[in-house]
A and B are shown apart, each in its own frame.
Chain A
Amino acid sequence: MIIERDHLFSESQFRSRQLSLLNSDHPQFHFLGVIKMKALILVGGFGTRLRPLTLSVPKPLVDFANKPMILHQIEALKAIGVTEVVLAINYQPEVMLNFLKEFEKKLGIKITCSQETEPLGTAGPLALARDKLIDGSDEPFFVLNSDVISEYPLNEMISFHKGHGGEASIMVTKVDEPSKYGVVVMEETTGRVERFVEKPKTFVGNKINAGIYLLNPSVLDRIELRPTSIEKEVFPNIAAANKLYAMVLPGFWMDIGQPKDYITGLRFYLDSLRKRSSAELASGSHFIGNVLVDESAVIGDGCLIGPDVAIGPGCVIESGVRLSRCSIMRGVRIKKHACVSNSIIGWHSTVGRWARLENMTILGEDVHLGDEVYSNGGVVLPHKEIKSSILKPEIVM
């Protein structure tokens, strides 16, 4: 029964102990309940908040820290032994299905799609995927929200779930401004959920729904196949029956469904890589703080990169470039002496010499910023050429 972090072990020791248990025939292998678990990832719709990036690819395939967003979740699920992932989608299934074929093989995990023909809200998709989630084994299944990044301590969640014996477990995370979200009010010691309060006007708690659930198959009996909200209809029912428990999510959490939070989330993610002493982070005199560089990217002389930067595959960063707090997608070329901060540069774009980009400048796919151009918060749709400066935040179509 593991609810709080085990203080005898550091994060990395704890994790490696878990993994060694998974990879052996140790009897605890079965205690962790890792046999044939399934998961549903709520992918949903058009990702309009992440436009212009989502004008080129569906949101789950937008890269985050050099990997498609959804791959972070699928890998976390695979790592604890989930054998089948169902993606609940209602948009561009052809693009998603192609992606899936590629990753099914690479990861050795079964990935299927459950497609909504009308929007079913946050709970309806579970009912739609019922046949894929229930296999008679009575194992609980995970439900993840595709916009969320975190450390995904899914083994701890399984232990928590089996420990309290309730019907459903949710992860909650502490936030500074709970009134912007739906607050989960729970008993401190057991984690039993008392109620949900949507955008409370007075302080009722500072824990919000983190979008990670572990549900018994019986929960599906509570959900009808129609547009339904899991927070407004399903969870309150389970809470009223005293069968819903919440676990405080250890480590970082971010909803990266919009650009500002994407950049903040990148900082948290890279920071957690640092804490795990990951070899993936770049090191050298050209780097400050946490920086992720794909091995196929090329960086010129005299650059200063970081903190909190991710540089994707095939990128060319020419000499004398300054990058901080930004995400550079696949195939981007940043020309000499340019300076980019707090921005996202979309696939195959170019940034001209001596250009300066800052304050949440977002370039969509195939955008070419001319030499010496300044952008203060410009949001540029795909396939554009920008030759004159953008002095204040503006959308360029």
Chain B
Amino acid sequence: MEISEQKVVAVIMVGGPTKGTRFRPLSFNTPKPLFPLAGQPMVHHPISACKRISNLAQIFLIGFFEEREFTLYVSSISNELKIPVRYLKEDKPRGSAGGLYYFRNIIMEDNPSHIFLLNCDVCCSFPLTNMLEAHKRYGGMGTVLVSAETANQFGELVADPITKELLHYTEKPETFVSDLINCGLYIFTPDIFTAIQEVSTHREDQANLRHLSTFEALQSPTRAFPLDFVRLDQDILSPFAGKKQLYTYETMDFWEQIKTPGMSLKCSGLYLSQFRFTSPDLLAGGDGTRSALIVGDVYVHPSAKVHPTAKIGPNVSISANVRVGAGARLINCIVLDDVEVQENAVVINSIVGWKSSIGKWSRVQADGDYNAKLGITILGEAVMVEDEVVVINSIVLPSKTLNLSVQDEIIL
């Protein structure tokens, strides 16, 4: 019989500084998990989703960033949500499951019955309550959130259509395996720690028992990893598939991975459109008379000042202390803190970095292909675009001043 007061905890993997070079140049000054999407730090979205689960005891953030990068955020979010949020720094790479195992004592402090494991750079609707109900019904060790294949990737897992059991898992297949992909969201019972330990022990036994010839030693795939390096996908999901231990829960909503700045713009838009249903008071409104004309889903930080003759949207996120001048036009962009967009400037399909300045009648734009290398124009921190200059499909590193127009370029 289930005790109804059983607690749950959530663990969010936030990554580390040298791992995310794909997020440059935005990651030079801010850790990727704190980059704002729809006006809130990236990690805030999974955290607020977790808050909706009943009996949530604690939220843990696990990563390789220095503790001080997260101190302020963690203490302010703990206060705001009235729930303990803690940042745990990994001291060396142990793999996605190894890290979880390393902190097991802290995670199990409140004796939770279930543990949510989420990747910070996943953008989705976080159907955590429904997923937990399904997990309890299945009665297995773990449940993986899955999604029917998005256009350009091959699915990695095969699930039984009736029982929803995970039957087969393979990492980054080159041929068609299925149309289901791993969404990077899991629910586990505490048995997961035993399973991870078994993997380490098995590896150790193998190393001890076999007297490998030099040739065999080179061939053995597990030789490359230290004993406590356990990857969730290859070492847990794959071997435990088909053993009535792991199940799948399918989401029909949007799902994206936020790996590049371009994708962060797309995901910011997805969250903004979600606000229309979950928190419409966060979205801006205006008709061009006493405040600027707002089209579609737009977030404007309360401290930002937007001139009434500017037109903003759709899909625009404006951060703190931004000033948008008269006659400016912003479409599909993220404008970060302290930016000044001067009169009659146009910004389309771009991300404008903290403290930058967009000159009068200048134009910062891109094609809007979220997956292309230069499909979204990115201006790093403190970039000055002078009056009337045009910047198209380019990436500009921090502290540059552009006094000439550029197109299809990376400016160091």
Contacts and interface: CB of A to CB of B under 8 A. Distances in A.
B89 interface: no
Interface stretch (B244-252, B275-283, B394-402): B394-402
B412 A383 contact: no
Given A48-B412, A395-B412, A397-B410, A383 B18 contact: yes
Nearest to A50: B412
Given A379-B412, A397-B410, A48 B21 contact: no
Contacts of A381: 21, 24
Nearest to B410: A395
Contacts of A192: none
Contacts of A51: 397, 412
Contacts of A306: none
B371 to A, nearest CB: 16
A142 B300 CA distance: 51
Interface in A46-90: 46, 48-49, 51-52, 55
Interface string B13-54: 000001001001100100000000000000000000000000
Nearest to B395: A397
Interface in B363-412: 395, 397-400, 410, 412
Contacts of B410: 395, 397
Interface string A365-397: 000000000000001010110000000000101
Contacts, number: 25
A121 interface: no
Nearest to A51: B412
Given A381-B24, A383-B18, A384-B21, A45 B399 contact: yes
Interface centre among A48, A49, A52, A397 (most CB of B within 10 A): A397
A397 B25 contact: yes
Contacts of A46: 398-399
A52 B399 contact: no
B21 A397 contact: yes
B107 to A, nearest CB: 30
Contacts of A52: 412
A46 B28 CA distance: 14
A55 B25 CA distance: 11
Contacts of B397: 48, 51
B380 to A, nearest CB: 10
Interface of A: 45-46, 48-49, 51-52, 55, 379, 381, 383-384, 395, 397
Interface of B: 18, 21, 24-25, 28, 395, 397-400, 410, 412
10 contacts: A45-B399, A48-B399, A48-B412, A379-B412, A381-B21, A384-B21, A395-B410, A395-B412, A397-B24, A397-B395
